[in-house]
Structure 1
């Protein structure tokens, strides 16, 4: 069972290392990316804190969940394609009532969702934070030294208390740092330690700051905003207190007496403004209807646009008859586009048109209207590491560092397991690894006249005798045979590696025999 678990660990470590390497290559080459979800726009498919891996595809189709940069900036949206084509897709969050303003083309899409790990984004952020990475690197790099220190302490205790009884079972093989540094494991150990250090350094850099360099701290510094409001005449009825309905109240169409007027107040540099209504349906149909032409507008200037709900609904119904798709509910976005200082600013008032009412798509945070701020400053650039033609962004470096750290840790565990299983290769080396603290290397010792020689069956017996009488084990090598002896009074206890038995009267220094007695 233990061997099976070791094999499974080795296979798991190898698979993790290969997976980490492939993921690193894909992320670094830009063919894949990792997105950590935020908000509730894709509930119940994804929830906040989920991790989703996306990969580039040759073509994208209706129903695919894709990631793209919002307004061409650094913010990433992960929503579903509901219509359009490669020249411009219509995209919508499953939990949103309206479609996205952007219509990214196929070459603007980062990739299609291929892997979903619930709540892994939250765990990944915690595991790859700088304190955790530093602690993991310290623990892994210091593991071998800790084992070696423990072994030295055990040896010291054995030297000061040699009367302890030895275990009679099979000798254990503690893993020491020198085993990891022996050939051929030396190169593997060095490689895994370098990988650990590099992945820890990469994670510390990726999590030490925001993913964007010099990102704006607030929308107010961007210098443009717009307030929306709407109103419409209604017939006297219990539905309203008066004959006018104003934002943010819904407009009930059964008592509507005219068109809905949308007013907007612009704050920013002077320019020209034109308004349009963008219609979109759940089946993927969308259309843009111009409402007003370009008109001069300055800071604090106002504009108006009229929404004829019956005309908008008739346009959608005609499209439904032609396409055979449903247009209910119909998403209506009133978009005034302000052209100033060579750039366009196009916020949107998002409404939902149903057979019985017109209402705000997102009523939260609204008082008398909707305020939107637009990017007048250049989009923030993502922090990245450049190495020649290769570039790695901070957002991609975060999961990459975590995967590389896990793969390197598993690889180091596999190397340690291999070193433990490999152990000393011959019997003499195993004996020294287990009982080296009791042994003294000497020159071959001749047999003393009148001293009896007793051959013991195993080295454990000889070691028990040495500890019992407080003696040291004398050892030497000759003709490929390792000899271990313990001299006690008039008896020499001896153990030899292998089956060969060589007479004890081998040539050697007699002083070694006298030096072996410690009593």
Structure 2
């Protein structure tokens, strides 16, 4: 699944990633009415650069006065394009060269820009769109932001004017919250999208899964024997494991075999064991006799004990020789193999296991006066003879909690689901609170809403001394005043006089002024307004802060 996700991510990034980050798309948010009815303020336009552009295509181009403009190519003259808004009855005054065109329209998403209405909010909202398209938030580098800012300042500085910074989508409802509220809303939306992506992964996996298991185990045995001895043949008057056994001084031998089942997980044994002696001759004859009682298992160990009487064995062989007329000193050789008889079942990690037959005899060569432990193979030693073992592996399956991996962290599905549900609940609650704040803010006085929505382009000043001397044009709405400021590249100023709050733009010979309805006096305070100014049908511009690859 990992390679598939990587391929999908790369394909999505190449097609929808910003140009500055290796992608092929330019993201713009529209403003104005010049491209209605297809485009409205706050729509998202995705552009893609092309080698050639043809008449009839909708493209975005850099205007030296108002930033990036999204209009249609209607003609070409002297190597430059003639541009026009679909809703305009005039062509654009600026004719862009092919190098001014940032790309042709390939994707249109209505109303996406209404999430936010400032530069800060715009960056975050475009990041949300990028996240929904390619699963990643694309952020322009600091160098790109500085370069784009400096270029726009150079392009939009007029004669005596100030650099113009136009807020994005000033008709958005969220604008009344100001930059902090919009940024918080955008962050919550991004977090909600991330929670939905993680939740989709968590809720498409089961809480538990079956996995194959492989558990090694080992059957082990430990042989030991001892015989009390007379005389000084054996130190301490006891023959021990590994010593030859002389019939004349150590005829009675106590034999012990300790069997165990071991593993990295808990084990247990059920069954019993006993010791038998197998007396055999080199010509194939053999005889079996019991050496001790049957011993039951206890936990994961089992111990069998028995006694070997060398005098009785020699007497028995002498009787066989007398009956067969073959002496013990003849060419025949005899061997005594002390063998455990195991009847056991085992459990390894609470799973029943079928144990392989475990037969590890302790063998002695019998001579007329002694029994000698057999350790005669090249790979044998006293330790390997007295400590036999047999390894095995228990295979099966078990139920384990399903775990998902995020950024190198392994988290259980149950925890992922819990975190996602709680996160979405908290995000929804916070969005509801923001929505209530928007509703409350929209009931505030108009001047307060204007300050919240346009605070990043307003300059608070004192009322000019020549307020009544310079001709003034009263604007029908704050949007009309913003368009004038944008077109002239001038600042929007805010002051408070005896009549209340006033917002205005000044040039050398004219003042454009808008006073909120609540602060008006006289006939203009009521009644219908005059028709919208011709500026309403100006060139439809997109936010100058949006450049190639900026989100």
Query: How high is the TM-score relative to the length of structure 2?
Result: 0.29
- Which of structures 1 and 2 has the bigger CA Rg? 2
Higher relative contact order (CA 8 A, sep 6+): 2
Query: How high is the TM-score relative to the length of structure 1?
Result: 0.31
